[in-house]
Structure 1
Amino acid sequence: MNASQFSPAQTPEPAAPASPDKTATGGGGHSLYGGVVNRRVTVRDLAAAKQRGERWAMLTAYDSLTAGVFDEAGIPVLLVGDSAGNCALGYESTVPVTMDEMTILSAAVVRGTKRAMVVGDLPFGSYQESPAQALRNAARLMKEAGVGAVKLEGGERSARTIELLVESGVPVMAHVGLTPQSVHALGGYPVQGRGEEAAHRLQRDAKAVQEAGAFAVVLEAVPAELAAQVTAELAIPTVGIGAGVGCDAQVLVWTDMAGMNPGHTPKFVKQYADLRGVLGAAARQYADEVRGGTFPDQAHSFK
């Protein structure tokens, strides 16, 4: 699935839009948001959205119930990210996440959805050894969990791996810029692509994964102007996270987006809810009613 395969003829069948706002959806009946209703979103749909200039949203998901909510909301792509390490499994980084954990979480998200493309992350240590190792683990996510694509980090260094996966029938979403699995090598989570040399390196990485056959590429923690330039240069969609509005799509970790994570919020995160506050208030009210003997009342008791 290299860029040359994404021809204008490969567009999804027209379908009714979820919203009458055709300008916002980039083409009405072809829209990713609500336009695909009887099947899962595919790489062809994402390629067609790039061609017509339609932006789209991606969120992470780690369980069937949350994934089902996002699927019903019309989110076209769900990423079972190794960010589950920080946001669901209690690790300090993504590094400890295992293939067993990613397979279980990915399968849950697939079971909870009907429409969204589900992309499963290949965790640290599951693909760096060799392209053959990457294929073995990518095939596991597709066969055992049912994901429609996998994601892996790295630009030029991962090009041969991406080539083998794509040649073997595995759709690949690449990830360049800030690569969280390299947190120890990077010494933290610094912005990438600042300065002429770093910007050229990021551009080379983005072009390398496109040439290798990736159907999309995540740009993380990249200056907005550089991300917009890379987006204009590529034929495949770019997915920004901390990379400005010039990307073709945006992704956020759902627990960041919904206000579940405590502590520091990254600059690029917008919180669309205070779910941690809502859940905390509900738990406190429940505990108060149990202590006060008002729950369960007659309405919540059997006769």
Structure 2
Amino acid sequence: MKNVYTWAAKPAKRSTTVGDLKAAKGKRKFTQVTANTTDEASAAEKAGFDMIIANAKNVIPVREGSKNLFLTAALVLNEYVTADDIMCGAFKALENGADAVMTPRSMDIVEMLAKEDVPVMGHLGLVPRKSTWIGGLRAVGKTANEAYELFQKFKRLEDAGAFSAECEVIPENVMGEISKRTDIVTVSLGSGRNADVMYLFMEDICGDTENPPRHSKAYGNLLKLRNEIKVERVKALKAFKKDSMAGKFPSKKQSSNLDKNQFEEFLNQLD
């Protein structure tokens, strides 16, 4: 654990820091998972993850669940629109306990944040919310020209001051060559094993989605458990209604009565 001061000027301990991530580039792998609730963050810490990423609005409950993991706050496109929104959102997230922010916005926005020493993770490759520009959801860098254009974006992101980038659905061999040629800490989301950080969504790892992306792998089956809960809930409600209509609920166990003498006195008072 490393001793740090948070952006709220409070002493804290972190499993890793920006400095650690940069120093370890190309030497060791890290792991990252999404966490947007206290329970999810707690599970990630207990499982030994190095990093978690949460929507900026969820930083407070996430930090309650994990006091020590490196936490990145995602500044969602449609929730932080203007430059002022982004700057205020970034500093609020950091004040609430985040260690870095992630933005899929322009190089100018990244540079704006980096100039204030905010640790910034960019987003390159497939950015789903911008997928219309590339003809839909697909891998990015599947031709030599597109791969080279992607590499140039990494270098521009590096020049803008980002310390890291979420690298989404990039061919593994392209990702490997780019990662070797940039100082940016590369975080692979569907981009193979040749990045610095291995990353998947919590729901994909835990098997909690009906239509998982091709690059994901389920290591659990929470969806089955959730569906069983739905069935059990309806079953219980139906049984309650049936017993209620048949006069079987409530039984003596769920009810209480005055003793005989007190009840007779009560009836006398009523009369």
Q: TM-score range by the shorter chain?
A: 0.7 to 0.9
Show the 5 A alignment for 1:1-303: 38-50=13-25, 53-81=27-55, 102-103=56-57, 105-125=58-78, 129-130=82-83, 132-143=84-95, 145-154=96-105, 158-262=106-210, 264-285=211-232, 288=235
CA–CA distance in 2 between the matches of 1:218 and 1:302?
Answer: 59
Q: Which residue pairs with 2:6 in the alignment?
A: none
Q: Give the 3-state SS of the residue equivalent to 1:153 in structure 2.
A: coil
CA–CA distance in 1 between the matches of 2:181 and 2:239?
Answer: 64
What is the CA distance between 1:197 and its match in structure 2? Answer: 1.9
CA deviation map 1:138-186 (0-9, x unaligned): 123223x3311110115xxx22322221221311011101112213444
For the 8 Å contact 1:57–1:75, the answer to whether it is kept is: yes
For the 8 Å contact 1:63–1:112, the answer to whether it is kept is: yes
For the 8 Å contact 1:126–1:137, the answer to whether it is kept is: no
What is the CA distance between 1:211 and its match in structure 2? Answer: 2.0
For the 8 Å contact 2:126–2:139, the answer to whether it is kept is: yes
Alignment root-mean-square deviation, CA: 3.0
Matched to 1:124, the amino acid is: L
TM-score relative to the length of structure 2: 0.77
Give the direction of change, closer, same or farther, for the CA distance of 1:302–1:183 in structure 2 (3 Å limit). farther
What is the CA distance between 1:38 and its match in structure 2? Answer: 4.5
CA–CA distance in 1 between the matches of 2:227 and 2:99?
Answer: 35
Residue identity (%): 25
User: Aligned residues, how many?
Assistant: 239
Between Structure 1 and Structure 2, the one with more strand by share is: 2
CA–CA distance in 1 between the matches of 2:85 and 2:225?
Answer: 43
For the 8 Å contact 2:104–2:123, the answer to whether it is kept is: yes
Q: Which residue pairs with 2:261 in the alignment?
A: none
CA–CA distance in 2 between the matches of 1:48 and 1:113?
Answer: 24
